[in-house]
Structure 1
């Protein structure tokens, strides 16, 4: 199974309205990062034990074998992972007050639905990922 087909199956397997929102977010990130390598992590470790939610990744970090931007469904909504910032206060400091109704940590923006956040602010944060 290709990475693209794994991503399609993951998105299709989400309940509505999360399916539509994740698909819109996936397409938005692909538009911002059209040449980015795609990743699909099913959330299991080498032994098959579930260790995280499945997630879709985009790009490759320069200094490690991992994606730069990722998305994942979670129990309360959607998480967007912005990886590679050395300063763990960068995201909360730069977008925490402007992103909208979201929780912003050192590498994650977590929200219930797309309408809760300012997508232009998210786009700018994605473009700023090292």
Structure 2
């Protein structure tokens, strides 16, 4: 009896956690890391930028996972589902493009630093 009650509580807790993850808004990272000029940056500045880029990528991944969960929660035949899915797709593409831009900018700075 006690085991059954514990299992029911566990199922309720897990269900509420997964529903709350889907219900919350997905927030894209907006604070793009500042990348120093690799021609003049110190090693410490470049390492700090590398840490900032990694943190940005982590936040961006969390955003993309959130979008995936929201997409999975949409019933295909629900009213407005096509528009909502298109909105999520556009947000995903923008987030990926921004992350690629940040990575390219950092890689350029790193290359310029290494060539000095």
Q: Where on the TM-score scale, by shorter chain, does this alignment land: which range? A: under 0.3
Higher-Rg structure is 2
* Structure showing greater relative contact order (alpha-carbon pairs closer than 8 Å, 6 or more residues apart): 2
Larger strand share, 1 or 2: 1
